[in-house]
């Protein structure tokens, strides 16, 4: 099939990652979000010879990291309209993956290369008891972090910096410089929500930032120490990586 007969579709996907091994294909398992969506599309398109369309995600979320609005794109040819594709996907996808929207994108749209910003939200449960209905989507740290100290520390992390200290990939060869536009820390009842917006994030970066900010909130580090932490450019200088389950991809920005 000639690529020119195909259209470039944009998908917005919500998923609960609890049962999966991340967005991206993994050897030895079909339990990835990308794999599940591609499987259902292959069934829908009835491609010959086991051919599978490639669904490109804006970000390759790690195992356990949820998404409210993952953006993806896929080139394919189908007689179904956008709502028809969406409904087909939702019928055959498992109950923890939902395609919220399907639309035809321009030919040049690439969900990953065209992304100019991303928003992630990390949710902490900081009440006196424990979360129940949302227990798979929040992290309950030991102790009650002081949100104000965390906000002071966050101010020092915002901006363009070399985030090597907050990078989970020790073998990272490319630049670890990123622009972190904002970290918003809001208390909502028994929850503390940390919303990160930036041009792009290194592996585990949001989780290491969160783990470090929680240590500041618990008095184990001073807000001021963030400056030297950035300067250290050493993963060992930062705090623990917060658990994946509290993290959710909220939005991807495009021009």
Q: Which residues are catalytic?
A: 62
Distance in angstroms (rounded) separating the CA atoms of residues 246 and 144: 16
Q: Tell me if 206 sits within 8 A of 200, measured CB to CB.
A: no
Binding a copy of itself by CB under 8 A: which of 117, 131, 168, 200?
A: 131
With CB under 8 A as the contact rule, the residue among 100, 144, 186, 220 that binds a copy of itself is 100
- Contacting a copy of itself within 1-30 (CB under 8 A): 14-16
CB-based contacts of 190: which residues, under 8 Å, 6+ apart? 125, 126, 127, 128, 131
Find the part of the chain contacting a copy of itself (CB under 8 A) among 83-91, 106-114, 174-182, 205-213: 83-91
Does 96 contact a copy of itself by CB under 8 A? yes
With CB under 8 A as the contact rule, the residue among 86, 178, 197, 245 that binds a copy of itself is 86
CB neighbours (10 Å) of residue 230? Answer: 19
Quick check: 249 and 118 in contact, CB under 8 A? yes
Q: What character string, x for contact with a copy of itself (CB under 8 A) and - otherwise, covers 28-67?
A: --------------------------------------x-
Minimum gap (Å) between residue 250 Cβ and a copy of itself: 13
| Options 98-106, 145-153, 170-178, 226-234: segment touching a copy of itself (CB under 8 A) | 98-106
Of 113, 132, 174, 188, the one binding a copy of itself (CB under 8 A) is 132
Smallest gap from Cβ 246 to a copy of itself, in A, equals: 13
Task: Find the binder of a copy of itself among 88, 122, 137, 163 (CB under 8 A).
Answer: 137
Q: If binding is defined by CB under 8 A, does position 71 make contact with a copy of itself?
A: no
User: To which residue do tokens 């794109």 refer?
Assistant: 73
Judge whether 157 and 171 are in contact, CB under 8 Å: no
Kindly state whether residue 90 participates in binding a copy of itself, applying the rule CB under 8 A: yes
- Which residue stretch of 31-39, 92-100, 143-151, 210-218 sits at the interface with a copy of itself (rule: CB under 8 A)? 92-100
Q: Does 243 bind a copy of itself (CB under 8 A)?
A: no
Q: Could you give the angle at which helices 205-217 and 147-157 cross, rounded to 10 degrees?
A: 140
**DSSP secondary structure string, 214-231?**
HHHHTTSS-TTHHHHHHH
Q: Which is nearer to a copy of itself, 125 or 196 (CB)?
A: 125
- 98 is a contact residue toward a copy of itself (CB under 8 A): yes
Q: Is the dihedral of CA 42, 80, 84, 24 positive or negative?
A: positive
- In order of 15, 67, 82, 94, the CA distances from 100 in angstroms are 10, 11, 11, 14
Strands (E), 109-253: 117-125, 159-162, 177-188, 191-198, 247-253
**Continuous segment of H or E residues that includes residue 101:** strand 97-104
Interface residue list for a copy of itself (CB under 8 A)? 14-16, 66, 83, 86, 90, 95-100, 128-135, 137
């Amino acid at each position: 099939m000639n690529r020119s007969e195909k259209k470039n579709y944009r998908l917005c996907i919500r998923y609960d990652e609890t049962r999966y091994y991340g967005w991206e294909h993994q050897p030895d398992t079909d339990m990835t979000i990308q794999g599940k969506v591609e499987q259902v599309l292959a069934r829908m398109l009835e491609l010959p010879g086991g051919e599978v369309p490639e669904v490109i995600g804006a970000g390759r979320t790690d195992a356990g990291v949820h998404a409210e609005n993952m953006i993806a794109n896929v080139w394919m040819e189908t007689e179904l309209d956008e709502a028809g594709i969406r409904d087909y996907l939702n019928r055959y996808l498992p109950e923890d993956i939902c395609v919220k929207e399907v639309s035809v994108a321009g030919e040049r749209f690439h969900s990953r290369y065209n992304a100019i910003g991303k928003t992630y939200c990390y949710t902490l449960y900081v009440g006196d008891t424990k979360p129940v209905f949302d227990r798979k989507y929040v992290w309950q740290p030991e102790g009650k972090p002081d949100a104000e100290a965390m906000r002071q520390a966050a101010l020092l992390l915002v901006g363009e910096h070399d985030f090597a200290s907050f990078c989970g990939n020790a073998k990272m060869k490319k630049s670890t410089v990123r622009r972190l536009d904002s970290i918003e820390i809001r208390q909502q009842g028994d929850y503390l929500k940390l919303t990160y917006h930036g041009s792009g994030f290194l592996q585990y970066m949001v989780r290491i930032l969160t783990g470090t900010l929680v240590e500041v909130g618990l008095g184990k580090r001073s807000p001021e120490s963030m400056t030297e932490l950035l300067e250290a450019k050493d993963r060992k200088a930062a705090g623990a990586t917060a658990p994946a389950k509290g993290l959710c991809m909220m939005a991807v920005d495009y021009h």
